[in-house]
Amino acid sequence: MIYRELSGGEFDDLASRILYEDNHLLIINKKVGEIVQGDKTSDEPLTETYKAFIAQRDSKPGQVFMGLPHRLDRPVSGIVVLAKTSKALERLNAMFRDSDVRKIYWALVCAEPRPAEGRLEDMMWRNEKQNKSYICRPGSARKDAKLAKLNYRQIGKTDRYWLVEVELLTGRHHQIRCQLSNLGCPIKGDLKYGSPRSNPDGGISLHARSITFVHPVKKEEMTVEAPVPLTWKGVNSIVIPR
């Protein structure tokens, strides 16, 4: 297997975004606009990019294994877990499927959440043609609707936006985007779910902030955090309540 050669700048950028690595795992901080696996576009997914990175960094002449146990949408930034061995991938797949992973997201929203914290539980369904999810209104029923649950709390405010922390309890399509919009708090830049304007980078201000799980091989609990994008002005100065 021959991987493409990365330029010095691209190589350094990829190296700088590694949050954790050992023989079994590679955890990275994804940028807005990157895809984590191949799709109908011809864009290179991060799985392939980091295969090329490891092959170049470690001078590996053979094939590099890189498994993807979960997804992160293209307009979203933050933590992506990659498996460097088939054993780790198999165990991580089971952990994500069985909700044995704690996932925390941060979102900049366009309105103050009321109440400031709580749990959202909604029946959601996905419109495949629109690539958009909807919440079933009271009294309506759909066989394809699924229960969506998350916890949220306001943890800060910038000049124009509110910073909300979300603990995702289920993994529905566009769940955080849809449920926060239904609360009256669309995510900054998310035109599809009610934001009044787009972000300059074309993404949305939703960030996979931290992840907690038991290492699939070492069997030790670990938590990894990803710094928010530099475009999130004012967020780094917020004192986050614990």
- Write out pLDDT tens, residues 5-64: 999 999 999 999 999 999 999 999 999 999 998 888 889 999 999 999 999 999 987 899
Beta bridge partners of 166: 105, 152
**Cβ–Cβ under 8 Å, residues 180 and 133:** no
Given this structure, which CATH class describes domain 8-230?
alpha beta
Residue 50: CB partners within 8 Å, gap ≥ 6? Answer: 14, 26, 28, 66, 82
Task: Give the tens place of pLDDT for each residue, 173-182.
Answer: 999 999 999 9
Residues for the chain: how many in total? Answer: 242
Residue 72: CB partners within 8 Å, gap ≥ 6? Answer: 30, 36, 78, 79, 80, 208
Residue 239 has pLDDT above 90, yes or no: no
User: What pLDDT score was predicted for residue 39?
Assistant: 80
Take residue 134 and report the two structure tokens written for it.
């909807």
Where do the structural domains in the chain lie, given as residue ranges?
Answer: 8-230
pTM of the model: 0.94
